[in-house]
A and B are shown apart, each in its own frame.
Chain A
Amino acid sequence: MIPVLGSISLSLALGLSAISIFLFSVFLKNADYRFFIAGWRGAVAISALSILATFLLLNELLISNFDISYVAHYTSIETPTFYKITALWAGQSGSLLFWLFILSVYTLIVLFQYKNSYTRLMPWVIIVLVIVQAFFLVLVNVIENPFSPTNADFVVVNGNGLNPLLQNLTMAIHPPTLYLGYVGFTIPFAFAIAALITKDTGSVWIRSIRRWTLIAWLFQSAGIILGGWWAYQELGWGGYWAWDPVENASFMPWLTGTAFLHSIIIQEKKGMLKTWNMILIMITFTLCIFGTFLTRSGVMSSVHSFAVSNLGPVFLGFIAIILLVGTYLVIDRASILKSEKRIESFTSRESGFLFNNVIFVVICFAVFWGTIFPVLSEAVQGEKITVGAPFFNQVNVPIGLLLLLFTGIGPLLAWRRTSKEALIRNFTIPILFGIAVFIACFFLGIRETTLISFPLTGFVAAAILIEFHRGTQSRSKRFNEPFFTALKTLISRNRSRYGGYIVHLGIVFMFIGFSGHAFDSELEFAMKTGEIKEFDGYKFELVSITPTERPNHIAWIAGLNIWDQENQLVTRLFPEKRVYFHKDPNPDKRQPHSELDIHSTLVKDIYTIFSGVDMEQQIAYLKIMINPLVWWVWFGGYVLIFGTMIALWPVKEH
């Protein structure tokens, strides 16, 4: 019964979307407010029905109704309740429904929040949102229905269960966080299209979406960082970013979204870059859809993608429509998108923003190029060429460092023009600090790229801290406040500015972490219990291999003592070799898994993987990696999220 209700809700919602769009077009024609209200109610109903369908599927997952194919494929009776919930986004059709669910929640907020404001923009904003909803409704109704019944000529007693790799708290949070980001960019996109259609391209739409963009950006950032964290903790190859097509798919809209966040500041303050902003938000939204397409279509082989499906043409069609309509609107409205002012000088905040924008877009293009190159080369030359991490690193490291440089320079420049005196005043200390770091690095024997990246992080960090110091000092002098009170009021009175600087600081910390990658080292070896192996200044002693049986797997636990050169115990690590579903009579269905163990410090991580075991001879196959400075990547992530929250925190209205 419930599956039928779910299917009906989705069909009804699809039908209503056509009706709602029709009602709005009548309203736009005759301006009869009753049609607006009717259309608005239709939009509310679409969202409500989509949300209802999601809860119905959730219910089926929780009661393990294996008559539904999705439930049978992604859960089993033994799956813990928590992971039955997360199975909602573990597979193809469920995750498409989940996309729709989040969009519906966002849409409801927009519908109620702005019901009586932005009267000119709203009808079009709602129409765009409903069209995007309708697209996903077509997908879940026609192509991938999450409620479709199990197709088997036998009774499914138990489902397949959720992949153990996904049974992990981070993995439960990472996809929804990323989705909240991806989907969030739909709102600014809808406002942009509405502004273009109504020719109301001033700062009204920009103001209305700044907060929405920031929310989407926050979730996108957090989602990407969580994904890296999960890969590092679970996948056991020692890294957090592999330039995998699906990782790239989430990174590309983040890049253009970040550029957009910066360039709307110029439009708000100076009325410039209007066309550019329109293009940026359209590209960002298109990349969000493209990202969903990459993940879902199976075009690229990747750890993330699901089985090959026939979603591809539909997604590409939708992307083509967005691009065509967008391009037409931007060209047609070119005259009203003219800048109100001009950039006056190289040494202005405006030009800083402009260069930062160019670099973001260039990085985005480089990532896009590398991601689609295998497909392109196969189509053009008939030869498949795979593009791996070395390409992306080689291309992006210099451009990324340039971006880091601009992160430092930009905020030190004044609007319109920076005087020579101000340039000297603002840049002296950061440059001196950068040089000091360079000299220190040089004498420490650091060479190549890191000899540039560390001094740059020093320069940028100094530039940011000086901004805080100067602002606080002047407050504290003017209002005679103690230093910390002044700092607090400074930040709370200019949340978006200083929140932004804190985000920059987070990025600096992350760059310190990225630089550490240059010093990674690893060793693979086999050892018997009682043996000691020396590597990278440490002694690894295999004390024991202990077999254990747990509810859904068996595990062999390697007990490792790690000593430093002075024979002081550094830490004890216990990486595990596990076999999930070990009781399954079919050996192909048993799943081996390596649970790693990490000793993490500010300076380096000791990362241990137990990749194989020979119990008869008491031999463990181990892989040990020493990964310097990785801690800073995660710390930078926290700082970045904290800074964004400050920028987002609502200002008390007086």
Chain B
Amino acid sequence: MNQKKIIIAVISLSFLSFAWIGYVTFNPDQENPGMVRFISLNDLSSVTESERIRLGGRISAGSIQISKQNQLECDFGLQQGELTVPVNFLGTRPDLFKDDAEVIVEGHYVNEKFVADQLQTKCASRYEGDLRDDSSYNVESI
């Protein structure tokens, strides 16, 4: 008899837990959501100001402007193919932040400007990339 009750308890506990996981999935914390949409620049116009989103792209060359008042603040253009969106970022810039670097930013789209509070650069390609360096020479030249 008790075994049945225990099994019912176990099943209810699991059910409650799954309900909880589902609840968090579909009602994330508004202030600090764990689930963020990754958006392409084409769909940017449909985003409301209150929604926290992510954008990925390339820093358009020559667009980086570091604020005179606060060295931690900068503006740059984030490029995705033909489209570019102005981005404002306040915080420590990663080591690999420079022209043409691939970056992912997270924040809000306000008044046609993306205000980011998180910025990541894609990892250095040195360790997966081309082996050629200045001391390499072609086989034919030997």
Contact = CB atoms under 8 A, between A and B. Distances in A.
Nearest to B17: A362
A394 B18 contact: no
Contacts of B126: 160-161, 163, 589, 591
A366 interface: yes
Interface stretch (B31-39, B78-86, B107-115): B31-39
A312 interface: no
A324 interface: no
A518 B61 CA distance: 40
A342 B3 contact: yes
Contact of B132 (A154, A303, A355, A361): A154
A394 B10 contact: no
A570 interface: no
Interface in A372-408: 373-374, 383-395, 398-399
B47 interface: no
Contacts of B28: 390-391, 394
Contacts of B129: 160
A153 B37 contact: no
B136 A155 contact: yes
A159 B17 contact: no
Contacts of B68: none
Contacts of A241: none
A609 B13 CA distance: 44
A395 B128 CA distance: 36
A342 B91 CA distance: 60
A386 B72 contact: no
Given A72-B131, A346-B9, A369-B21, A385 B35 contact: yes
B92 A373 contact: no
A611 interface: yes
Contact of A351 (B6, B38, B96): B6
Contacts of B2: 342-346
A446 interface: no
A346 B14 contact: no
- Chain A, interface residues (CB within 8 Å), range: 35 or more
A150 interface: yes
A155 B35 contact: no
A493 B68 CA distance: 70
A585 interface: yes
Nearest to B138: A154
Contacts of A614: 71
A153 B34 contact: no
Nearest to A395: B24
B44 to A, nearest CB: 14
A163 B124 CA distance: 9
B34 A390 contact: yes
Contacts of B9: 346, 355
A524 B131 contact: no
A592 B72 contact: no
A398 B20 contact: yes
A383 B124 contact: no
A346 B133 contact: no
B14 A373 contact: no
B96 A154 contact: no
Contacts of A344: 2-3
A158 B32 CA distance: 47
Interface of B: 2-3, 5-6, 9-10, 13-14, 17-18, 20-21, 24-25, 28-29, 32-38, 54, 70-72, 91-93, 95-96, 123-124, 126-129, 131-140, 142
Interface of A: 72-74, 150, 152-163, 303, 306-307, 342-346, 351, 354-355, 358-359, 361-362, 365-366, 369-370, 373-374, 383-395, 398-399, 524-526, 584-586, 589, 591-594, 609, 611-612, 614, 619, 621, 623
26 contacts: A73-B131, A152-B131, A154-B132, A154-B137, A155-B142, A156-B136, A158-B133, A160-B126, A160-B127, A160-B129, A343-B3, A346-B6, A355-B10, A362-B14, A365-B18, A384-B38, A385-B38, A390-B28, A391-B24, A394-B24, A395-B21, A525-B72, A526-B70, A591-B124, A611-B92, A614-B71
Given A155-B136, A385-B35, 10 more contacts: A73-B127, A155-B137, A157-B133, A159-B131, A160-B126, A344-B2, A362-B21, A383-B38, A586-B134, A592-B96
